[in-house]
Chain A
Amino acid sequence: MSDLAALLPAPDAVRPRASTATRVMRGGQWLALLALGLALLLPMGTLLSRAFGNAAGEFVWFANFAAYVTTPSLLAAAWNSVWTAALTTALVIPLAFFYAYALTRSRIPAKGAFRAAMLIPILAPSLLPALALITLFGNQGLLKGALLGYPLYGPVGIIMAQVFACFPHAAIILAVALGTADGRLYEAAAALKASAFRTFLTVTLPQARYGLISAAIVVFTLVMTDFGVPKVIGGQFPVLATDVYKQVVGQLDFNMGAVVGIVLLLPAVIAFLIDRWAQRQREATMSGRAVVYAPKPNLVRDWLCLLHCLAVAGVLLGLTGVAAWGSLITFWPYNLTLTLANYDFANFDPAGWGAVWTSVRLATLVAVIGAPAIFTIAWLLERGPKGGPVPGLLRLAATVPLAIPGLVLGLAYILFFNHPANPLNFFYGGLVILVVNCLTHFYTVGHLTAVTAIRQLDPEFEAVGASLRVPVLVTFARVTVPICLPAILDIAVYLFVNAMTTVSAVIFLYGPDTKLASIAVVHMDEAGQVSAAAAMACTILAITAAVKLVQVLAGGLVDRSTQAWRQR
Chain B
Amino acid sequence: MLRRALLPLALGLVALAGVAQAQTRTRLTVYTALETEQLAPLKAAAEAAVPGIEVAWVRDSTGVITARLIAERQNPRADVIWGVSAFSLLQMEALEMLEPYTPQGAEALRPNMRSDRSPMTWTGMDAFVAAICFNTAVAQQRNLPRPTTWADLLAPAFRGQVVMPNPNSSGTGFLTVAGWIGAQGEARAWDYMRGLHDNIQVYTHSGSAPCNNAARGEYGVGISLDMRAVTLRNQGAPLEIIVPTDGVGYDIEGTAIQRGTRNLDAARRFVDWSVSRQAAELYGRWYALLALPGVQPAVRGYPAEFEQRLVSQDIRAVANERERILREWASRFDGKSAPRN
Q: Chain A residues in contact with chain B, CB under 8 A? A: 71-73, 76, 134, 138-140, 149-151, 153-155, 231, 235-238, 242, 245-246, 248-252, 254, 330-335, 347-350, 411, 414-415, 418-420, 425, 428-429, 507-508, 510-513, 523-531
Contacts and interface: CB of A to CB of B under 8 A. Distances in A.
B72 A231 contact: no
25 contacts: A73-B334, A76-B337, A138-B218, A139-B218, A151-B340, A153-B201, A235-B203, A237-B339, A245-B205, A251-B326, A252-B63, A252-B91, A334-B237, A335-B235, A411-B71, A414-B68, A418-B72, A418-B77, A512-B56, A525-B212, A527-B37, A527-B231, A528-B215, A528-B228, A528-B235
B74 A418 contact: yes
B208 A526 contact: yes
B166 A250 contact: yes
Given A72-B330, A331-B237, A508-B71, A513 B232 contact: no
Contact of B39 (A71, A350, A411): A350
Given A236-B166, A530-B212, A510 B58 contact: yes
A334 B36 contact: no
A213 B213 CA distance: 39
Given A236-B337, A249-B63, A526 B70 contact: no
A149 B326 CA distance: 33
Contact of B208 (A333, A418, A527): A527
A513 B57 CA distance: 8
A250 B340 CA distance: 24
B64 interface: yes
B217 interface: yes
A73 B330 contact: yes
B329 to A, nearest CB: 11
B205 A415 contact: no
Nearest to B73: A418
Nearest to A346: B40
B339 A235 contact: yes
A350 B57 contact: yes
Interface in B1-41: 29, 35-37, 39-40
A405 to B, nearest CB: 14
A139 B331 CA distance: 29
Given A73-B335, A236-B337, A242-B205, 14 more contacts: A73-B330, A139-B217, A153-B201, A235-B203, A237-B338, A252-B67, A334-B137, A335-B236, A348-B37, A350-B36, A415-B71, A418-B77, A428-B77, A528-B235
A428 B77 CA distance: 9
A420 B204 CA distance: 37
A154 B339 contact: yes
Given A418-B74, A418-B75, A332 B216 contact: yes
Interface string B60-90: 1101101110111011010000000000000
Contacts of A414: 68, 71-72
B219 interface: yes
A465 B341 CA distance: 66
Contacts of A524: 36
B63 A250 contact: yes
A275 B61 CA distance: 39
Contact of B75 (A72, A425, A511): A425
B217 A333 contact: yes
A254 B216 contact: no
A235 B202 contact: yes
Interface residues of B, number: 64
B297 interface: no
Given A71-B330, A334-B237, A529-B231, A236 B339 contact: yes
Contacts of A248: 67
Contacts of B35: 527
A302 to B, nearest CB: 43
A368 B103 CA distance: 49
A236 B68 contact: no
Nearest to B333: A236
A145 to B, nearest CB: 14
Nearest to B94: A55
Given A73-B330, A73-B335, A333-B217, A419 B208 contact: no
Contact of A419 (B37, B74, B218): B74
A245 B170 CA distance: 10
B122 to A, nearest CB: 17
Contacts of B57: 350, 512
A523 B228 CA distance: 13
A218 to B, nearest CB: 25
Interface string B203-228: 11110110110011111000000001
B100 interface: no
Contacts of A525: 212
A418 B72 CA distance: 7
B71 A527 contact: no
A236 B330 contact: no
A164 B173 CA distance: 31
B168 interface: yes
B334 A331 contact: no
A527 B56 CA distance: 21
Contacts of A419: 74-75
Kindly name the residue among B167, B168, B211 whose own CB sees the greatest number of chain A CB atoms within 10 A: B168
B169 interface: yes
